[in-house]
A and B are shown apart, each in its own frame.
Chain A
């Protein structure tokens, strides 16, 4: 860890305690998306393409400002635009930056069969290692957020890396850097959580959004991308953000009980057949009795 060389434990000729001794560094990173201050400018979309070396894709117009219906293998960051009619009849334009949530319990990783194709770093970033990806698409089945996207050209799957390449050298993700309103923040998980909570409180107390809150879903162990929502009770309004995301039960069933049952049955079957052979031996042909012999 690069931080290890900045943390001092002993100092020569120094009277008194070592400054910062016993300090606990938090490695967990987090991106905070405050949907209430997003203006839908899509600077983050462009920054993501630029940093990751993709060219701008064909857009799909569907009567909204949204660039395309969902993220793509070469378009990892998408602002979802949703018109919402409030109880008093007024309209709200809800804008949410959609990307990988970097789940603490990533369903994509749970489902992946390829050694080393998906890794989770100690700072919480979930990253795909395309060199090891076999293109089976199991991660697509495992993810509750519809994030991993298959590239028919590469036969591999791609998604947001939380700019792991930037973060590992002390830079913030490209989208954060590009955001002009300050609705995107990056820092430690606990700092971002605090910031998000105080913003939500402000929205509740000052701005009249009684249901404002923070989206950090427990079903996936929390996420390393969190949202401040005006209406945390209805995350679905924000372009299909699931209310209670979790690794699909079918994926659990497949990867846990079925796997062990299957393995046991296969090993048991082979052992059983070997024992059968030792016990009763082969079936051999027998001589034909005279009454069944004779030229046909």
Chain B
């Protein structure tokens, strides 16, 4: 496999490479974990309602009625975290030309041939897509969730709303679950150093250079050699 030597190459980084630079502020990290926690709660309780095979998940958060009571509230808290994230990161998440080239060559990313990709800013195309998909999904989950929340508030003459809401809510939740799985996998297992960056707020220079080169140039004041 062509990727073997790039992936398993022994590290020859220098002290300079291993110096830490800040990546996420304290507030960014708190909000990220607030979002992660509230999403996970919605996920666990939502999956319990989704299929009888996972109904036992309700037991670990206090039983069915408790799960039903808190799910919408945690959905609201999650919405708050998403709104704050939008304020914090919305600007950094705008797509540029390099992102589109990156997306066209996403196969190289999947095969760990990152050197074949254009340089990446603070966030890569995948992270940006995840971000915007989550923001959009949150709005849909919130609107459909509200219809389902107060059962007695939707009169029979509007009962079609319920049909639409449950289909939207479940489908959108599924889409976010898919994205969420990828997100968790990439940041815990795939890209070493990512998880720590969201815990400690720092990354090594080498990490920044490897994965977010444009951002590395930006924060270290280095200009791109061929610019």
A contacts, CB < 8 Å to B: 70, 113-115, 132-138, 140-141, 146, 149-150, 152, 155-157, 248, 250-251, 253-254, 258-259, 262-263, 265-266, 269-270, 273, 276-277, 280-288, 291-294, 296
Contact A141 B167, beta carbon cutoff 8 Å: no
**Nearest-Cβ distance from residue A180 to partner chain B, whole angstroms:** 30
List the count of A-B residue pairs having beta carbons below 8 Å apart.
159
**Nearest-Cβ distance from residue A274 to partner chain B, whole angstroms:** 9
Q: How far is the CA of A284 from the CA of B115 in the complex (A)?
A: 12
Contacts known (A251-B163, A265-B174, A265-B178); A276 close to B110, Cβ less than 8 A: yes
Contact B12 A287, beta carbon cutoff 8 Å: yes
B contacts, CB < 8 Å to A: 3, 6-9, 11-14, 16-17, 48-52, 55, 58, 64-65, 67-69, 110-112, 114, 148, 151-152, 156, 159, 162-164, 166-167, 170-171, 174, 177-178, 181-182, 185, 189-193, 204-207, 209-211, 216-217, 219-222, 225
Q: Which one of A135, A262, A280, A285 lies within 8 Å of B110 (CB-CB)?
A: A280
Q: How far is the CA of A269 from the CA of B183 in the complex (A)?
A: 12
Residues of A within 8 A of B181 (CB): 266, 269-270, 273
Contact A115 B55, beta carbon cutoff 8 Å: yes
Contacts known (A250-B163, A285-B193); A280 close to B55, Cβ less than 8 A: no
Contact B222 A287, beta carbon cutoff 8 Å: no
Contact A155 B69, beta carbon cutoff 8 Å: yes
7 A-B pairs with least C-beta separation: A137-B151, A134-B64, A250-B163, A296-B220, A150-B151, A285-B206, A285-B207
Q: Which one of A136, A248, A285, A296 lies within 8 Å of B204 (CB-CB)?
A: A285
Residues of B within 8 A of A269 (CB): 178, 181-182
Q: Which one of B156, B167, B185, B206 lies within 8 Å of A287 (CB-CB)?
A: B206
Residues of B within 8 A of A115 (CB): 52, 55
Provide the main secondary structure of the chain B interface. helix
Contacts known (A134-B67, A155-B69, A293-B14); A286 close to B206, Cβ less than 8 A: yes
Q: How far is the CA of A273 from the CA of B220 in the complex (A)?
A: 34
Residues of B within 8 A of A292 (CB): 209, 216-217, 222, 225
**Nearest-Cβ distance from residue B33 to partner chain A, whole angstroms:** 22
Contact B225 A291, beta carbon cutoff 8 Å: yes
Q: How far is the CA of A151 from the CA of B80 in the complex (A)?
A: 29
Q: How far is the CA of A284 from the CA of B17 in the complex (A)?
A: 13
Residues of A within 8 A of B209 (CB): 285-286, 288, 292
Contact B50 A262, beta carbon cutoff 8 Å: yes
Residues of B within 8 A of A276 (CB): 110, 185, 190
Query: In the complex, what residue of chain B is closest to A273 when comparing beta carbons?
Result: B185
Contact B50 A285, beta carbon cutoff 8 Å: no
**Nearest-Cβ distance from residue B193 to partner chain A, whole angstroms:** 6
Q: Which one of B12, B51, B55, B205 lies within 8 Å of A114 (CB-CB)?
A: B55
Q: How far is the CA of A247 from the CA of B80 in the complex (A)?
A: 36
Q: Which one of A135, A250, A273, A288 lies within 8 Å of B65 (CB-CB)?
A: A135
